[in-house]
Structure 1
Amino acid sequence: MAMQKPDPELEKSLVEYENLERQLQVLVLQKHQLQLQLNEINLAQEEIKKARGDVYKSIGSVMVKSSPEDAEKDLKDRKDLSDMRLGTIVKQEEKLRSNLVILQKKLQEKMKGYGFGEG
């Protein structure tokens, strides 16, 4: 028995699934990068607490003298922004994962109609 050719709706759903998977991969990478950035900020904050006197902070490729208070404020601002971005990414990741599960179930049902996944 010859297999039926998948309909355009099934093909469209498969492409959508692949796109969602790629988006999820990008989000996971961004989340990982933000987590690393937050770890660096936490380490820097610990070092500032140990410092006596002025500290130096990197601005581009230049090191600039700063008071520990100013450096701590800059780090706190960066941390707050990174935490906010991380929260947004986590929510997006959860939504994408949920959409992928729903779409995967729909695809499995559609593909059964074409003889895939049986036997």
Structure 2
Amino acid sequence: MNELPPQIQNQLAQLQQIQQQAQALMQQRSQVEMVLRETERALDELKKTEDDAVVYKAAGELLVKANKEEVLKDLEEKKDSLDVRMKSLARQEERIQSRFTQLQDQLKAALGKGPSGKEAS
């Protein structure tokens, strides 16, 4: 088998790097989705409670008595922040997918031609 030209080797390396970035983004998105779901569940449950209900929030390893309205506000802010993060990750995934497809097409075109510039069979 002939040695691949440096340009193609470079494109293959870029393709592998993009695949790794895409996997890392998918993991991040999965983690953010999980935290977002937990936050939404906590918000839903807290909204169902009476206004004078005793509420606790986590502070490290401790549960601390807290004001329901403050906890609601904190959870809403956390949810908003997570929503923004999800949108950002989605945009990053779109850009990476676009770059991946572009590189893949370039590689197919470059590898589809033989040394004489003719289509390989």
TM-score, normalization by structure 2: 0.89
1:57 is matched with 57
1:33 is matched with 31
CA distance in 2, matches of 1:49, 1:87: 26
Deviations 1:48-79 (A, max 9, x none): 11223121111211111111111100101111
- For the residue of structure 1 that corresponds to 2:65, the secondary structure is strand
CA distance in 2, matches of 1:67, 1:54: 8
CA drift of 1:111 comes to 1.3
Contact 1:55 1:67 in 2 (8 A): yes
CA drift of 1:110 comes to 1.2
TM-score, normalization by structure 1: 0.90
> What count of residue pairs does the alignment treat as equivalent?
116
Question: 2:21 is aligned with what amino acid?
Answer: Q
CA distance in 1, matches of 2:60, 2:107: 48
CA distance in 1, matches of 2:4, 2:42: 56
Contact 1:6 1:114 in 2 (8 A): no
- For the residue of structure 2 that corresponds to 1:5, the secondary structure is coil
CA RMSD of aligned residues (A): 1.7
1:82 is matched with 82
CA distance in 1, matches of 2:47, 2:19: 42
**Which gives a bigger RCO, structure 1 or 2 (Cα 8 Å, sep 6+)?**
1
CA distance in 2, matches of 1:93, 1:74: 28
Instruction: Tell me if 1:67 matches 2:77.
Output: no
Deviations 1:67-106 (A, max 9, x none): 1111100101111111111111100000100110010000
5+ residue gaps, structure 2, are: none
- For the residue of structure 1 that corresponds to 2:3, the secondary structure is coil
1:42 is matched with 40
1:112 is matched with 112
